[in-house]
Amino acid sequence: QVQLVQSGAEVKKPGASVKVSCKASGYTFTTYFMHWVRQAPGQGLEWMGVIDPSVGSTTYAQKLQGRVTMTRETSTSTLYMELSSLRSEDTAVYYCARGTPPDYWGQGTLVTVSS
C-alpha cells in the first residue's frame, strides 16, 4: 500500500533552516509528482511547490522563491523540503502529497519557529 512517512516535529529559531523528509513506499517513486503543502495553526491549506522525482525539476510558490528547496533521493525513495530564513509565520504543519491533484498525503510534520 502507498505510504508517505514524514520526519518528526522540529523547533527552530528565527533565521534558521529546517529540512523535512518524506519517505515514499508502495508505488514506483518516479511515476508521481510530489507536492508540498503547509497549514498554519487554525488556517487553511497553502501550496508550496512541486517536484518531479524522475528528473528533479521543481516549481515553487512565488512567495517562497529563494527560501524553499525541494529535492529527492531516488535510491531511498525519499523527498526533502528545506525552508530557510525561518520566521514566526512559517510555523505550520508541513505535508508531502503525491500526485496531481494529490491522492495520498504524509502524516504531516509540525515546524515551530520561536525564539
Cβ proximity to another protein: between 38 and 72 the closer is 38
Three-state secondary structure call for residue 17: coil
C-alpha 61/C-alpha 13 separation (Å) is 23
In the bound complex, what is the minimum distance in angstroms from residue 15's beta carbon to another protein? 26
Q: Are 13 and 113 in contact (CB under 8 A)?
A: yes
Is 80 or 105 the residue whose CB approaches another protein more closely? Answer: 105
Q: How far is the CB of 14 from another protein (least distance, A)?
A: 25
- Coil, strand, or helix at residue 14? coil
Grid cell of 70 as nine digits: 525541494
Q: Which residues bind another protein (CB under 8 A)?
A: 35, 37, 44-47, 50, 59, 61-62, 95, 97, 100-103, 105-108
Residue 106's nearest CA partner among 98, 96, 91, 94 is 96
CB of 75 or CB of 89, closer to another protein: 89
13 or 101, CB closer to another protein? 101
Please state the closest distance from residue 43 (CB atom) to another protein, in A. Answer: 9
Count the Cβ atoms, other than its own, within 10 Å of residue 73. 14
Closest CB 62 distance from another protein, rounded Å: 7
